[in-house]
Structure 1
Amino acid sequence: MTAVDSRTVPSAPQVERPGRLVALLVGAAFVVILNETVMGVALPDLMTEFDVAATTAQWLTTAFLLTMAVVIPVSGWLLTRLPLRTVFVAAMSSFTLGTAIAAAAPVFSVLIAGRVVQAVGTALMMPLLMTTILNVVPAERRGQMMGTVSIVISVAPAIGPTVSGLVLDRLSWRWIFLLVLPIAVAALAVGATWVRNVTEPRRTPLDVPSVVLSALAFGGLIYGLSSIGESAAGHTPVAPWMPITVGALSLAAFVRRQLALRERALLDLRAFATPAFSIAVALVSVSMMALFGTLILLPIYLQDVLGRTTLETGLMLLPGGLVMGLLAPLVGRLFDRVGPRPLVAPGAAVASVALWLMSTVLDTGTAVSTVIAVHVLLTVGLAFMFTPLMTSALGSLPARLYSHGSAIVGTVQQVAGAAGTALFITVMTGVSTSAASGTPTIEALADGVHAAITWGAVVSSVAVVVALLVRRPRPVVVG
């Protein structure tokens, strides 16, 4: 037998109608990830019905993110240890059960529990989807398929507020879950029949200390970063530096243990030894910071500065999400032809220009059309980054690291999203409160928005330089 390079990946397994399998997984992933951002718009209604404060209601989102941060790192081990169909059924069963619990929740604590159970399924779906694509789709067509995946990653969170705004305009908050429930049940039933085991499970022991360190590391970082904005406004009982410190120390211990465990690692960090993977993951982090930062900031700006309603705000953000979704398959096909750098470098530049424009044009009298235009420009830039970066990152790894690479990317996305939210909200709150000497006025809030987006623009400028280092993954060599 001819020797095979360590980066060599086997040819994709022969799977009957792989397009159908990928379409099912993409649809299921879209539904579950959509739920990551649907609750923000519903918080006022929930605060009234359950008589809870804003800091308590915010746990509907915080608990969801914390659960994902804890479960995603474990998904790499699960996808290595268990058959693909088993993981899919577990993921969709958990999401379906959580949706039913949330829809019927009689008290707020039960609603929180439903969101946690939902998040377990959501955390498993994206690594499962990406691992499947890497195993069944030939390298020369992965860009096109990953373009479809980018719709899930970027568009589902982007249109979450729009969907919930449309529902809440006519129906109660329970319908956010009731409308999703039959879709989840159908996906579970069809998937149990269609999904095939395209991976070879390996008997890898579960390292319990790694699980504990992972939960403390990523849970602490997500919680601490998510609490920074509330702390700036004086609304959090725990100082953010405490969970962030615990998270950082636990992360250092987690990294050290994973490198020592090597093949037995919960999350095999040797993926970072591949330069293409490391560079792409760094840029994905910046992209997610920009996306989630603007997703949290623009609704505040539109509602509290421009005085728009919840429904109007959701509809104004919809064009950006749709543009990103429409561009993703096109960018995927272009990637297969020209590789990542001709797409990522211009995309990073466009995204940076959009953020710099936002930092200057968004004020108390900005026209709605201007807000929509700069938001669409931002999503165009991000659309040209997500697909090439994801494909380059995972396509550069050997097959044995596919599941771990997918889990690493998913974990980084969650931490980066929380960091982007923390950065934007903290700067906005600090500047607006200082400018208004206590209670932010509309003008002070607009100043805070300017300052926050300016920081985002500075970070994006660094990404423009790093984007020049992106390279096409090395050709697959089969021995």
Structure 2
Amino acid sequence: MKKQYNTRAILVSLLICGFVGMFSETALNIAMTNLMEVFRISAATAQWLTTGFLLTLGILMPLSGLLLQMFTTRQLFTGSLISLIVGTGIAALAFNFEMLMFARVLQAVGMGLLLPLMFNTILVIYPPEKRGAAMGFVGLVIMFAPATGPTVGGLLIEYLTWHYIFWFSLPFLVIGLGVGLKYLENVTEVSKPRIDLLSIVLSTIGFGGVVFGFSKAGEGAEGWGSMVVVTSIVVGLVALLLFILRQKFMNDPMINLNVFKHPMYVVGLLMVLSCMLIIMASMIILPMFLQTGTGLSVFITGLMLLPGSALNGILSPQVGRLFDRYGPKWLVVPGLVIVAIMLWFFTNVSPASSVAFIVALHIGLMVGIAMIWMPAQTNGLNQLPPELYPHGTAVMNTLQQVIGAIGTAVAISILSGGMEKYLNGSAAPSEQAEIANAITAGSQNVFLFTMIIAVIGVVIALFIRRVVVSSKAMNSMH
């Protein structure tokens, strides 16, 4: 008999905590200028609040497959929440940059444990035919929380101080912990996987180096030419290559690369990564274009991007239900076509484009993403046998962090390149109107690049087909 879980209560506790964690991640981004004044730090130093967060996630995510096997669900949940609550508490009280930085690392540790735990738990407690809807709710959290961050953060900073971003989050985390401790059960078997220190070191240097290198490339004046950037990316890639070779020849690997033998998992992974790249690139370029190119305030920019992101979140559970009923193809292919069309329109935006037009394009883009992300991800994970669930989610979550860092860096490089080229040919490069035109030219190039990614995605998506979960996999879940 399959064990009965209180799936609703378990899902609610995981979603509350996930939502708050993702919310504070982006809410702080809008406070960067404010923090630079308060702490008297440079933009490059302030950027560490984001880079440090991403770096911690990039290092922790690959270990998640191992941790999910070593500890019970409740132990991991409690550990992740204590880390989130303590981190959020310290951040709320922070009076200098170092204290806030330490708090961010603690928060990232909490999120790094919580996200893989959330995916893995859903795979275990929901049967395949109901997973789409459950994963849809995760989609709601992953998309809607970062979207509300800048808007709510902007409001809190306008009327209170940046500390309230964290004071606002704390009670929700405590409630989430309470609900989780009451209803969350241990859903996985604890095994004693062999801990291979060399794998951990290689994965930390590998993923850490790549994320750090690309994050650095996206922020400095030197960009890709900086020795730090080149060295950390090269060292990271070499370490990753050694890590992959080591996993292939181990009996009990830290990340089981057999997940790549499942074709629908690979297709799903490629879809998710292309979505992540498109979102990260447009999430960083659009606000810059709206603020510098069209001269809108931070708060107005946040409000303009809210409808699309909110709709994306609200649609995710509906898309999940449609996936459960009809499978992935009829959602993913049209979704990618919509995304490609919206990005094509975005390549023509200018300071003269109306607010309504930009909001409409952003809504279209986010609706398209909602149709791709969760169906592709769920379909891919459905193909894996249960013993590969922790590894499948570890690979997906890790590569999303890596591609997020890469997407941001590449987008900023393309933007800077386009601006430089425009200003070099300009008669009055220091005039505000010309700077606005330059950022428009750069932004259009970024949208062209993401449109090409979307078109390649359409081609890959044609190969997606519904995974029928085998009776063997079903039996091993009972």
Q: CA offsets per residue over residues 233-258 of structure 1, 9 Å max, x none?
A: 66997542221111111111111111
Amino acid at match of 2:378: T
The answer to which of 66-75 and 161-170 deviates more is 161-170
Percent identity for Structure 1 against Structure 2: 38
Q: CA offsets per residue over residues 372-417 of structure 1, 9 Å max, x none?
A: 0111110011000011011111111000011111111111111111
| Corresponding residue SS for 1:36 | helix
Q: CA offsets per residue over residues 83-122 of structure 1, 9 Å max, x none?
A: 0000000001101111111111121011111000100001
Are 2:362 and 1:375 aligned?
A: yes
Q: 2:410 aligns with which of 423, 426, 430?
A: 423
Amino acid at match of 1:110: M
TM-score, length-scaled by structure 2:
0.94
Query: Do the aligned residues in 2 keep the contact of 1:158 with 1:295 (CA within 8 Å)?
Result: no
Amino acid at match of 2:144: V
Shift of 1:163: 2.2
Q: Equivalents in 1 of 2:224, 2:148: separation in Å?
A: 28
What are the equivalent positions in structure 2 for 1:4-15 lying under 5 Å apart?
A: 13-15=2-4
Amino acid at match of 1:145: A
Q: Equivalents in 1 of 2:223, 2:405: separation in Å?
A: 19
1:357 corresponds in structure 2 to 345
1:435 corresponds in structure 2 to 422
Amino acid at match of 1:476: S
1:218 corresponds in structure 2 to 207
Q: 1:169 aligns with which of 158, 172, 177?
A: 158
| Corresponding residue SS for 1:261 | coil
Q: Equivalents in 2 of 1:178, 1:390: separation in Å?
A: 33
2:31 corresponds in structure 1 to 42
Q: CA offsets per residue over residues 102-157 of structure 1, 9 Å max, x none?
A: 11112101111100010000111111011111111111111111111111222222
Q: 2:77 aligns with which of 88, 96, 118?
A: 88
Q: Equivalents in 2 of 1:380, 1:233: separation in Å?
A: 36
Amino acid at match of 1:158: A
Q: What is the number of residues matched between the two proteins?
A: 466
Q: Equivalents in 1 of 2:340, 2:5: separation in Å?
A: 43
| Corresponding residue SS for 1:47 | helix
Q: Equivalents in 2 of 1:93, 1:283: separation in Å?
A: 33
Amino acid at match of 2:420: T
Q: Equivalents in 2 of 1:51, 1:234: separation in Å?
A: 23
1:7 corresponds in structure 2 to none
Are 2:190 and 1:201 aligned?
A: yes
Query: Do the aligned residues in 1 keep the contact of 2:13 with 2:177 (CA within 8 Å)?
Result: no
Q: 2:281 aligns with which of 284, 287, 293?
A: 293
Inter-CA distance 233–302: structure 2 relative to 1 (3 Å threshold)? farther
What are the equivalent positions in structure 2 for 1:120-139 lying under 5 Å apart?
A: 120-139=109-128
Query: Do the aligned residues in 2 keep the contact of 1:155 with 1:324 (CA within 8 Å)?
Result: yes
1:31 corresponds in structure 2 to 20
Amino acid at match of 2:240: L
Amino acid at match of 1:457: M
Are 2:406 and 1:412 aligned?
A: no
Q: Equivalents in 2 of 1:336, 1:369: separation in Å?
A: 34
Q: CA offsets per residue over residues 248-306 of structure 1, 9 Å max, x none?
A: 111111111111124x2111111111111111101110000001111111110111111
Pairwise CA RMSD: 1.6
Q: Equivalents in 2 of 1:125, 1:275: separation in Å?
A: 27
Query: Do the aligned residues in 1 keep the contact of 2:6 with 2:183 (CA within 8 Å)?
Result: no
Query: Do the aligned residues in 1 keep the contact of 2:285 with 2:411 (CA within 8 Å)?
Result: yes
Query: Do the aligned residues in 1 keep the contact of 2:93 with 2:163 (CA within 8 Å)?
Result: yes
1:227 corresponds in structure 2 to 216
Are 2:383 and 1:389 aligned?
A: no
Amino acid at match of 2:234: T
Unaligned ranges ≥5, structure 1: 1-10
1:283 corresponds in structure 2 to 271
1:266 corresponds in structure 2 to 254
Q: CA offsets per residue over residues 50-69 of structure 1, 9 Å max, x none?
A: 00000100100000000000
Query: Do the aligned residues in 1 keep the contact of 2:328 with 2:464 (CA within 8 Å)?
Result: yes
